[in-house]
């Protein structure tokens, strides 16, 4: 008898995404008629602007339904170059830009391009749920680097080994909403230079910075040479489902990286990219009100949360997340709120052990629902 067929370890060994699983659970509960207040989703209740939808429709009706340029349309890449010049100040050539189906695939592409089997990649702890799995899928070994409050130079030095190939930095941070300081970025840049490793800079929430100027890794002197920027239209423009993001690469590297795109997705649909061009053109109209809305919700929720016994929440400088600490097991609190008052939040430990003792809340739902969810949480309190 032959052995039962086996799937590759690459997929069997992966842990499911805690955020996607919670979203599925909420969706399934809603399908049974139960109303769940979802404070767990990174998908804002923001409809795509009709002008962006029109741009996609025009492109489709105009015949942009074929394979297109592998690296992305010249129009979108030019718009991304202009965006980077304006926001980060980095001067990219359109040839350094690769358009991807979302930030997640941009991240995977960057790791596919860098990581050899056994290479170590420093990952933020706590950090976004997909970093470790993406590193592993590329044959690498994720090495957690604590950075809840700050990146400590000595801790970073200790985490670096001869096998360190790259560090993933995410600013503003999912789950905490923290913005990495210029000093922290400089520390990483200096050590990356000294020890010869790459920096992957995930800036998908940079447009949602509420306080001060946002420090971009690629704007530090000389950092462009070793920094791969991951960005996305998802969070900034209410376009999570469009799957549109990009990589901004060090000069000369895109020629090789592009082969991974050629042999995997080929290209992002042209009409999705046309929508992206329109979105970037509407930046000044769309983004500031969106930012204000999230800020107002964050401020409101922080005040409500701090009134609950055992919950302590500071106001982060960016994003639509909150990361309160709780005087109880984070998984127990999340379960308690879901089971007793139908409110879904994510335990901080979903973002690695460094997130334990916290919860991640997203203020991505309508104001009235957010109010109701917060009232329910206040009523439920922490489990005894
Ligand atoms: N990076 C971080 C830190 C995220 O939180 C997300 C989405 O939640 C992404 C990247 C990817 O977003 P998308 O693939 O929708 O562009």
Q: List, for residues 119-160, the tens digit of each pLDDT value.
A: 999 999 999 999 999 999 999 999 999 999 999 999 999 999
Same domain (yes/no): 300, 374: yes
In a domain, 120, yes or no: yes
Closest ligand 1 atom, residue 103 Cα: 16
231 Cβ below 6 A of ligand 1: no
Residues 224 and 292 placed together within one structural domain of the fold: no
| Across 46-64, average pLDDT | 98
Whether cis (ω within 30° of 0) applies to the bond prior to 51 is: no
Q: Given 283, 299, 318, which residue is the final one in a domain? A: 283
Cα-based angle 304, 306, 312 (whole degrees, multiple of 5): 140
Ligand 1 within 6 A of CB of 104: yes
Q: Are residues 233 and 185 in the same domain?
A: yes
Domain membership flag for residue 178: yes
Instruction: Verify whether ligand 1 is closer than 6 Å to residue 174 (CB atom).
Output: yes
Of 283, 317, 345, which one is at a domain's C-terminal end?
283
Q: Which domain holds residue 329?
A: 9-34+284-380
Q: Is 234 in the pocket of ligand 1 (CB under 6 A)?
A: yes
- Verify whether ligand 1 is closer than 6 Å to residue 236 (CB atom): no
Counting the structural domains of the chain, the total is 2
Residue that is written with structure tokens 């999570």 in the block: 240
Q: What is the mean pLDDT of residues 268-281?
A: 98
Residue 354 lies in a domain: yes
Average pLDDT for 168-172: 98
Residues 354 and 218 in one domain: no
What CATH number did the domain enclosing 316 receive?
A: 3.90.1150.10
Q: Where are the beta strands (DSSP E) in 225-375?
A: 227-232, 245-248, 311-312, 321-322, 325-326, 343-344, 346-347, 359-362
Ligand 1 geometric centre to CA of 379 (Å):
32
Percent with pLDDT over 70 in the chain: 100
Q: Assess whether 271 and 292 both reside in one domain.
A: no
Q: Domain for residue 205, yes or no? A: yes
In a domain, 92, yes or no: yes
* pTM, 2 dp: 0.96
Residue 126 in 3-state DSSP?
coil
pLDDT per residue over 313-347, tens digit each?
999 999 999 999 999 999 999 999 998 999 999 99
Q: Which atom of ligand 1 is nearest to the CA of 244?
A: 16
Q: Which of 108, 169, 174 to probe ligand 1 with, by most ligand atoms within 8 A of CB?
A: 174
């Amino acid at each position: 008898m032959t052995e039962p067929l086996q799937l590759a370890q690459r997929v069997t060994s992966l842990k499911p995404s805690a955020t996607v699983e919670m979203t599925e659970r909420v969706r399934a509960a809603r399908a049974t008629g139960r109303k769940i207040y979802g404070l767990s989703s990174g998908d804002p209740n923001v409809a795509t602007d009709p002008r962006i939808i029109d741009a996609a429709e025009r492109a489709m009706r105009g015949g942009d339904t074929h394979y297109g340029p592998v690296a992305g349309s010249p129009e979108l890449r030019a718009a991304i170059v202009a965006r980077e010049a304006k926001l980060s100040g980095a001067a990219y050539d359109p040839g350094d830009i690769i358009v991807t189906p979302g930030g997640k695939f941009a991240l995977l592409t960057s790791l596919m391009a860098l990581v050899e089997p056994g290479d170590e990649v420093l990952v933020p702890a706590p950090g976004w749920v997909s970093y470790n799995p993406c590193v592993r899928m590329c044959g690498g070994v994720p090495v957690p680097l604590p950075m809840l409050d700050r990146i400590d130079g000595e801790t970073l030095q200790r985490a670096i080994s001869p096998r360190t190939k790259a560090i993933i930095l995410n600013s503003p941070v999912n789950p905490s909403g923290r913005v990495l300081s210029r000093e922290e970025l400089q520390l990483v840049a200096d050590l990356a230079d000294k020890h010869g490793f790459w920096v992957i800079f995930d800036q998908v929430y940079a447009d949602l910075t509420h306080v001060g100027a946002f420090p971009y890794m690629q704007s530090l002197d000389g950092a462009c040479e070793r920094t791969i920027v991951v960005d996305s239209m998802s969070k900034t423009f209410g376009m999570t489902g469009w799957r549109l993001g990009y990589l901004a690469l060090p000069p000369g590297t895109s020629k090789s990286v592009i082969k991974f795109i050629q042999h995997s997705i080929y290209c992002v649909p042209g009409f999705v990219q046309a929508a992206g061009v329109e979105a970037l053109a509407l930046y000044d109209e769309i983004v500031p009100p969106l930012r204000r809305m999230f800020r107002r919700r964050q401020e409101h929720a922080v005040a409500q949360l701090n009134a609950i016994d055992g919950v302590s929440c500071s106001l982060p400088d960016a994003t639509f997340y909150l990361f309160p600490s709780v005087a109880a097991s984070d998984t127990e609190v999340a379960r308690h709120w879901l089971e007793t008052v139908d409110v879904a939040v994510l335990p901080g430990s979903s973002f690695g052990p460094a997130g334990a003792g916290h919860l991640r809340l997203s203020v991505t739902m309508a104001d009235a629902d957010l109010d109701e969810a917060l009232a329910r949480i206040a009523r439920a309190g922490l489990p005894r």
